Amino acid sequence: MSLTTALARLLIFPGLLFAVPAAWFFLWVERKAVALMQGRIGPPFMQPFYDFIKLLGKDVPVREGIGGLLMKAWPLLAVSSAAGAVALLPVLPAQGGFQGDLILLLALLEVPSMCIIAAGFSSRSIFGEIGSAREAVLSVSYNIVFLLAILSIAVSQHTFRLEALAGLPATPLRWLGVAALLACLPAKLHINPFSLPNAEQEIYAGPMTEYAGHELAMWELAHGLEWVAATGLVATLAAPRFALWWLAALAFVALSFAVVLLLAVLASATARLAIDTTVRFYWHCTLIFAVLAISSALIMRFRS
Amino acid sequence: MKLWKRLMCTCRRRSPWLFHMNSGSCNGCDIEFVAALTPRYDAEQLGVLLQGSPRHADILCVTGPVTRKAADAIKTVYAQAPGPKAVVAIGSCPATTNVFIESRTLEGPLGRHIPVDVFVPGCPPRPDAILQGVAKAAAILAERADHPPAAAPVIKPDAVEVQR
C-alpha cells in the first residue's frame, strides 16, 4: 500500500470523511432504537451532530501543568486511533491491505479504552478513578475472549490479513468466533448491560467527569468511531461474498447496521450489572466458549 | 462566520443537557423532574439528556429553597458548569422559598446566589411545565451564544429579597 492510498483510506474512505457521519448515524440509530423500544419518538436524526457542534462551542476549564496537557492529549489519541482502525476495514474488496493488518486493527481498537483508563486517572477526580478502575478490570476480562475469538478465526483460515479473511468462505468455527465477538461488543462499547465504566449517574460520568467542551466532543466522536470500527469488524467477518463491489459494500453497511440494532435492543432490554457479575460472566461463560473455539481451530490447523 | 454562529445557535437550542441539583427540596419537585424525563414525556425529542457531571451540562435544574448547607454547594456547581449555561428554578421554593419563608435555616431564594433564567412555579409543577421551562431556557441559551454576558454576573441581594 503506497503512502497516497494509505492517506486516502485514512482521510476519505473508509476513514474520517466517511466514518464521522457514519459514527453520528450509528449513535443516532442506537438512541432511536432504544426510544422505539420504550414506545417513544426519540431524538431527531441530526441529534448527534447537534450535540457535537454544541460541545465544540462550550468553554473548557483552564487546567495547568502536565496533568492538563495529558488531559488534552487523551481524547485526541482516542479519536485518531479509532479513525485508524476504521481506515483498515476492507469495505470495498480489492482495496489493498497488508499481511498482519488484523493485528494492527486489534491494537488500534484497544487504544481508546486505554485512553479512557488514563484519562480517568489523570483527571484526579474520585469518580474518574473509580470509572477507570472499572474499565481496566472490564477490559482485562473481555479482551481475552475478544482476542481468542479473532485468533481462532485467523488460525483456522491461515491468515492475518483482513481482506483475505473477508474473501474466504465462512466455516462453522468462524460463526462461533463471530458469536464470541458479539458477546464482547457491549462491554467494548460501554452499553448496557456492561455500561460500568461510564455508569451514568451512578458514578457521575466515570472517567469523563472532568471533561467539558471540545474535549468531551472528541470523546463522543471517539465513541462513535469505535462503534463503526467494532461493528465493521463483525461485518467483515460475517458478510456474505459478492462479486459485484457495490453489492459487497452494501452488504457490509447493512450488516453493520444490523449489529448496531441488535446491540441497541440488548441495551434497552437490560439493566446495568454489577462489576463482579460482569467479570464472572466473561471469565466463566464466554472464556470457556473462546477456549473451545481456539483449541478446535488449532486442531483443524494441524490436521489440514 | 455568520453561518457558523447561526449553526451554533441552532445546535445550542436543540441539544440542552441537564444537571439536576437539589438544594434542600422536599423531594416533590425532584419526583416531578424525574417524571419529566421518563418515556411517557419523551424529553429526548427536544435533545434533552440528563448528565451525571455538571461539566457536561448546559442547563442546571435547581429544586428546593436553598438551605444554609446547600448555598455554597450551589455556587460551586454553578461555577463548575462551563458556559454558556442557563438555570431553571423548578417549583415555588427556589423562587420565593414558599412555605419555608423566614426559616432560620434558609438562605434562599435561589436568585440571591446564582442568576436564574427561567422560573417554573408550582408546588410541585407538572412535568409538562418543567419541560416547557427547559425548552424556554434552551432558547435563551441559544440567544446568549451571540451576546455573552459579563464574566461575573452581578447579583444584588436586595433586588430579589421581596418578602424580607
d(CA A39, CA A247): 34
Distances (CA, A) of B29 to A123, A144, B20, B35, B81: 33, 47, 11, 10, 22
Q: Taking CB atoms and an 8 Å limit, are B84 and A42 in contact across chains? A: no
A212 interface with B at CB cutoff 8 Å: yes
Chain A residues within an 8 Å CB radius of B53: 127, 204-205, 208-210
For B20, the domain range is 14-145
ipTM: 0.87
In a domain, B49, yes or no: yes
Mutation site for B-interface testing, chosen from A34, A45, A51, A54 by largest number of B Cβ within 10 Å: A54
B164 assigned to some structural domain: no
Chain A: nearest CA to B99, how far in angstroms? 31
Residue A204 and residue B53: Cβ atoms within 8 Å? yes
Confidence of residue B75 (pLDDT cuts 50, 70, 90): very high
The verdict on B47 touching A (C-beta cutoff 8 Å) is yes
Residues 127 through 146 of chain B touching chain A, CB cutoff 8 Å: 145
Count of domains for chain B? 1
More confident residue, B99 or B83: B99
Is B9 part of any domain? no
pLDDT at residue B151, as a whole number: 44
Phi, psi angle pair for B88, to nearest 5° = -115, 125
Residue B81 lies in a domain: yes
Instruction: List A residues 83-122 in contact with B (Cβ-Cβ < 8 A).
Output: none
- Using N-to-C axis directions, what is the helix angle for A16-37 and A245-269, rounded to 10°? 40
Residue A33 CA to residue A23 CA, distance in Å, equals 15
In a domain, B127, yes or no: yes
What are the cell numbers at A304? 489440514
Q: In the predicted model, what is the mean pLDDT of residues B89-104?
A: 91
Classify residue A282 by its DSSP letter. I
**Is the CB of B42 less than 8 angstroms away from the CB of A44?**
no
Query: What does the pLDDT look like over A263-294, one tens digit per residue?
Result: 999 998 998 998 889 899 888 878 887 888 88
Q: Hunting for cell 462566520 — which residue is that? A: B1
The answer as to whether B124 is a domain residue is yes
Tell whether A36 is within 8 A of chain B (Cβ). Answer: no
> Which CATH number belongs to the domain containing residue B114 in this structure?
3.40.50.12280
State whether B44 and A38 contact (CB < 8 Å): no
**B40 is a domain residue:** yes
Task: Decide if B3 is inside a domain.
Answer: no
The answer to whether A124 contacts chain B (CB < 8 Å) is: no
Please, what's the b/e burial string for A267-279 (b: 16 or more CB within 10 A of its CB; e: otherwise)? Answer: bbeeebbebeebb
pLDDT in tens, A83-137: 999 988 887 765 667 788 889 999 999 999 999 999 999 988 899 999 999 999 9
